[in-house]
Structure 1
Amino acid sequence: MIVMSVVGVTALAVGGGALLMTDNNASAAKETPAQQAAARAGMTVKCPDVATSLSNVPQQARPAVNNELAKMDSQVADAYQRLAEPGAKADQESVRTRVLDPLTSERRQTLDRIATEIEKVQPRPSGLDSLAACTVKQDQAAAADAQAAAPNTPAAGNTAPAAGAQGTGGQGTGAQGTGGQQQSGPQRADFVDIRKVKPNVKNPRVQGKGSKGTFSSRCGRNENKHFNSDNVIVAPGVSNGAHHMHDYVGNKKTDAFASNQVLESAGTTCTNGDRSTHYWPVLRLQDGTKEFDAGAPGGGTEGNVGRILRPTSVQLSFKGNPVSKVVEMPKFLRIITGDAKAFTNGTANANASWSCTGFENRQLKDKYPLCPKGSNVVRTFKFQSCWDGKNIDSANHRTHVAFARADGSCQQGFKAIPQLVQRITYKLAPGARNFAVDSFPEQLHKPVTDHGDFINVMSQKLMKQAVSCINSGRKCG
């Protein structure tokens, strides 16, 4: 049977993120175009995430279900574009009839198709229809920036803004993107001086039976410019399944259509022959540069604009477990860490960390760091390090792996595997605020949406070497 985590989802769809708009439509009609643009700053479409609610889709139904889930992402992206259209009214009735009602109808039909696909194999799931309705979420930081830029605009709480107004300091929603597209976010409030953050890193003590070694793969910095907006884990067989651009290192053939056989036979950028694939959203400098994808899906047409930054360094390390030895990862194991939709989903699965070199005992989950002179921006993805011992993937791409407990141990039924840590650095001007990760359009480039992806395509011989190195306490690679 399908297991669904729908407790509280209905409340989210009906009331959570409620429209922060006036019921006085007449007053909205009297607003100037600038006021209407400011009134739209920070509005984004918020929908229950169906993918994370489906924890046990039968294997035979997964390809069709994944395809339908990808359609739902496109539906939300299209709805966000309608919400953010320049000149569009921001009053409650207009947003409901122009954006939310059509989106809910599309989602209801898609959910019905998902239930039908599952019903071909097992009893039809109940409760899916409760995930159809969406609301509009307001980013208060964007509203504050827009209010400062257009002081005659009605205050937030009376009128709900959406993308379109320039924020203070050149950072606001609505910075004009290439191809005539509007770029939403980030906001000034999404940045913090790393020197003002208190040390917050705590690591469990390694015990006598723990594994202290490290195995590293050197796979370059994407010098070969391997980019696409696919996601072969979440949306296999679907072009632009991520709706944002990814950086890739390792496997040279990774895209939406790469089967396990393709990945196993592909070349690699890793010096040790590791064919594993590593990918994450690109980081862009929002400097007005018209990138190669300025007019393409996943790029400028979805608000991802500016110059793609090549990392200064990429470190891929596999680490041990504080309380036990580690076992080999199975070939083609898939792991996602972080949540690309954490701005609207909430932070339960958010996991990326931001910091600055020289300050990495201070990690940020929901802010971009402002780094001082001589310090580089650091993104760190620490992956789940406990495996259920059976599956290389799961319906929601999460339940087959888990994070270790606070003391480093794995929950019952799970085994410790080498923990992948992706550490990526970038050289930016001191205190720079004009950078952001690519994101789904409605996620407003929030740092909390950052995420990393991994597919293990190591040979059995190389994986054995990695595990031996880690368990014996050596540093290899």
Structure 2
Amino acid sequence: MRRNTRRRPMGAQRATFAAAALILGGGGLVAVNVYASATESGSAGAPGQANPSNQTWASGAATIDCPDVGGKLAEVPQQARADVDKELALLDQQVSEAYARMTSGQQAQAQDANSVQNAILGPLKEKRGAVIDRIKTDFKDAGAEAPNSLDALATCTAVPADQTQNNAGGQNGNGEQQNNNGGQNGGQQGGGQQGGGASAVSGPVAADFVDITKVQPNVPQKPGSGGNASTGTFISSCGVNANKKFNTDNVIVAPGVTNGAHHLHDYVGNQSNDAFATNDDLAKAETTCQNQGDKSTYYWPVLRVQDGTQEFDADRNGGGLEGNVGKVLQAKQAQIEFIGNPQSKVVEMPTFLRIITGDAKAFTNGPANANAHWSCTGFEDKVQLTDKYPICPQGSSVVRSFAFQSCWDGQNIDSANHRTHVAFADANGNCAGGFKAIPQLTMRLLYDVPAPTLDNGQVKNPYAVDGFPEQVHKAITDHDDFINVFDASLMREMVDCINAGRQCGDGAGDGNGGGGNGGGTGTSEPSQGEPTPDQPTLSPDPSSGGNDATASATPTDTQTTQPPAAGTPETTEPTRGGQATGHSGVVKADTSPSAAASHTAAAPQGGAHEHHGSETTHPAQTPATGADAPSAQPTAQDTSQAGSQSQSQTEPQAVTGDLADTGTNLWPAAGGGVLVIAGLVVLLRIRRSSV
């Protein structure tokens, strides 16, 4: 028999193929969209970060941690110091450049886990090795031998974005143990956020801020005064940088190197300070200080609000090109006061003595040399923060305060690592190791800062201190610099005043001091002819004597003028760490290295870290048992551990993204689903028609 074959109509066959194509295509869209969403959520870091291109990638690195070279060079032959300083400054430049390459290559690094090592860290190691070889040659040419350990310091490491940093536990102000989980998780630590339209910048992040009203008091009791205490004070009013003298140099750690700081400095006092200023230049300079006998230079990194403002340095090294962006804030008060010692009389500072307090690289170096103090008016004698920026209540101003080292070795005006010639007094105020007590410089800077807002793990319009780019603008990196250029008679007058327990200097009002050699009257005139913000004074010629120095003698009060908001602590007479003078000044929350060791913002430690050229100093010192000293820096995490006080919640918990974002992310999957359904419908109809 002949076999009867039946062929399907060509139309039905084509419809079947079309249905299959719809199903496959739609399924593909769904799969791709799900995979992309999963990958994107992992790379964005913290929840709620809607711009992952500006964040640290999940498998990448938050920053670069390089070992300390300068810290190993406590002894450098005098004839080699200039060359060694320049080589150490070059190490800073190399790290800055490597960090810039790392942050600009996030996409490649997300695809290749080895790209950071191959493209960033490997070349950096070779460059650092060459610099270290030249340093060793500088020693040899000076007839000395460099430390053998230098060769091992060429290798840098990348700090993973999701690395949790565990620091030594300290104690809070109530004596209860802290649980310090350093760092931030999920890429937030170094990711950076776009602050109110500012250009992409790494840091600060939401976890760097804390509502100060939710932090427990942590300022320890001051030591009592001994029978030989020097309880006087000497005030020098030098304005608030109304001249807008800025530069990114650092004549102490990087003399002769332009942009040696890699961040912008405010200057008051001496108006001839730049990278190339000599002691003679400083001695001949103009000064903004009311008492013309004080030509000292006082400088610190500027504070900025990342609000999208294009400042004058937006396209310059040390500014926008190195992650320091936003509106530069001028302090409304800059109080400079020298105080005594609770246990002994003080001796005169030598002319041109250099002191740096704090560590500009404390985020990667660790907190050992950190000496940052952040607070708000109305809270200074209760709460001091080192690794967090405070969010102040309405009517309260942000306060940056500094208490410099007050013990001197009696011989040197500087040291190779800019640290060992000065030290902090111990917890009782004693200078150890034969060091002599000198007047302690204390500074208090007040700012009107728009309060940042925290929303879904993001911070909008954050404020932050300028810093080295790889330090991602952490609060713990705050620091301050000083070169003593008091004339001899005014320094003698200061010491006599402090030792006699008097209050002298500008505005002291006791008639026993303040005139000095400069004919200072103790009053000031409002600044006139101030340059506009886009016309700053940048690195003036030292021989010119400065620019418009007399214009910046802005009055500065010694008491807080802004009352705290209702319900917040009243402003009391500010206390002074380590001193029992009762006068206004800096709150030194603690003088123990262990207090700093508990900061959550500190980076991983292990081995030595880069101190030289990074504005580092001795930590505040206590007896060897300082590990039991009270911690001075509770964080949002710390407060959850303290007694019965409820956890401070600074980051609202909410669903990530708005409806528009959700629709944008889901439409490919939705379209794919429609195609799959359409394909199934077509198949069903073909089956029915063929039956």
**Aligned letter for 1:59?**
Q
Whole-angstrom distance in 2 between the partners of 1:176 and 1:318: 41
Q: Name the counterpart of 1:59.
A: 78
Q: Name the counterpart of 1:239.
A: 258
How far off is 1:312 after superposition? 1.2
Secondary structure of 2:401's match? strand
Equivalent residues, number:
428
Q: Name the counterpart of 2:411.
A: 390
1:464 to 492, 496, 504: 492
Q: Name the counterpart of 2:344.
A: 324
Q: Name the counterpart of 1:248.
A: 267
- The superposition leaves residues 347-397 of structure 1 with CA deviations (integer Å, 9 ceiling, x where unpaired) of 000001000011002111111111101110000110000000000000000
Contact preservation (8 Å) 1:40, 1:162: no
Whole-angstrom distance in 1 between the partners of 2:379 and 2:162: 29
- The superposition leaves residues 220-243 of structure 1 with CA deviations (integer Å, 9 ceiling, x where unpaired) of 000000100000000000000000
**Aligned letter for 1:194?**
I
Whole-angstrom distance in 2 between the partners of 1:163 and 1:214: 42
Q: Name the counterpart of 2:138.
A: 117
2:213 to 178, 195, 198: 195
Of 424-433 and 373-382, more deviation after overlay is shown by 424-433
Secondary structure of 1:130's match? helix
Whole-angstrom distance in 2 between the partners of 1:296 and 1:429: 25
How far off is 1:52 after superposition? 2.0
How far off is 1:163 after superposition? 5.9
1:378 to 377, 383, 399: 399
- The superposition leaves residues 93-127 of structure 1 with CA deviations (integer Å, 9 ceiling, x where unpaired) of 11001100000010011001011101122332211
Whole-angstrom distance in 2 between the partners of 1:378 and 1:165: 24
Distance 1:165 1:347, change over 3 A: closer
Distance 1:213 1:139, change over 3 A: farther
- The superposition leaves residues 226-262 of structure 1 with CA deviations (integer Å, 9 ceiling, x where unpaired) of 1000000000000000000000000001110110000
Aligned-residue identity in percent: 57
The CA RMSD measured in Å over matched residues stands at 2.4
**Aligned letter for 2:227?**
G
**Bigger share in strand:** 1
- The superposition leaves residues 418-451 of structure 1 with CA deviations (integer Å, 9 ceiling, x where unpaired) of 0001110101234666100001000000000000
TM-score, with structure 2 as normaliser: 0.59
Q: Name the counterpart of 2:469.
A: 441
Distance 1:430 1:301, change over 3 A: closer
Contact preservation (8 Å) 1:373, 1:429: no
1:364 to 385, 397, 406: 385
**Aligned letter for 2:226?**
Q
Contact preservation (8 Å) 2:189, 2:205: no
Secondary structure of 2:368's match? coil
Contact preservation (8 Å) 2:259, 2:318: yes
- Stretches of structure 2 that go unaligned for 5 or more consecutive residues are 1-34, 45-51, 166-183, 454-458, 506-691
Alignment of 1:287-436 (within 5 A): 287-361=307-381, 362-430=383-451, 434-436=462-464
**Aligned letter for 1:40?**
W
How far off is 1:206 after superposition? 1.4
- The superposition leaves residues 111-162 of structure 1 with CA deviations (integer Å, 9 ceiling, x where unpaired) of 010111011223322110111000011355999xxxxxxxxxxxx98x9789
Asked if 1:132 corresponds to 2:161, the answer is no
Could you say which structure has the larger radius of gyration? 2
Secondary structure of 2:299's match? strand
1:98 to 108, 119, 132: 119
Distance 1:406 1:437, change over 3 A: same
- Stretches of structure 1 that go unaligned for 5 or more consecutive residues are 1-26, 144-155
**Aligned letter for 1:394?**
S
Distance 1:271 1:140, change over 3 A: farther
Whole-angstrom distance in 1 between the partners of 2:162 and 2:373: 22
How far off is 1:49 after superposition? 2.2
Contact preservation (8 Å) 2:282, 2:485: yes
How far off is 1:177 after superposition? 4.5
Whole-angstrom distance in 2 between the partners of 1:82 and 1:142: 24
Distance 1:266 1:341, change over 3 A: same
How far off is 1:475 after superposition? 0.9
How far off is 1:194 after superposition? 1.2
TM-score, with structure 1 as normaliser: 0.85
Whole-angstrom distance in 2 between the partners of 1:392 and 1:95: 42
Whole-angstrom distance in 1 between the partners of 2:287 and 2:152: 44
Distance 1:471 1:164, change over 3 A: closer
Q: Name the counterpart of 2:57.
A: 40
Whole-angstrom distance in 1 between the partners of 2:504 and 2:162: 47
Of 432-441 and 36-45, more deviation after overlay is shown by 36-45
How far off is 1:297 after superposition? 0.5
Asked if 1:216 corresponds to 2:235, the answer is yes
**Aligned letter for 1:372?**
P
Distance 1:139 1:247, change over 3 A: farther
Distance 1:140 1:311, change over 3 A: farther
How far off is 1:200 after superposition? 2.1
Whole-angstrom distance in 2 between the partners of 1:165 and 1:57: 38
How far off is 1:92 after superposition? 2.9
Distance 1:133 1:404, change over 3 A: same
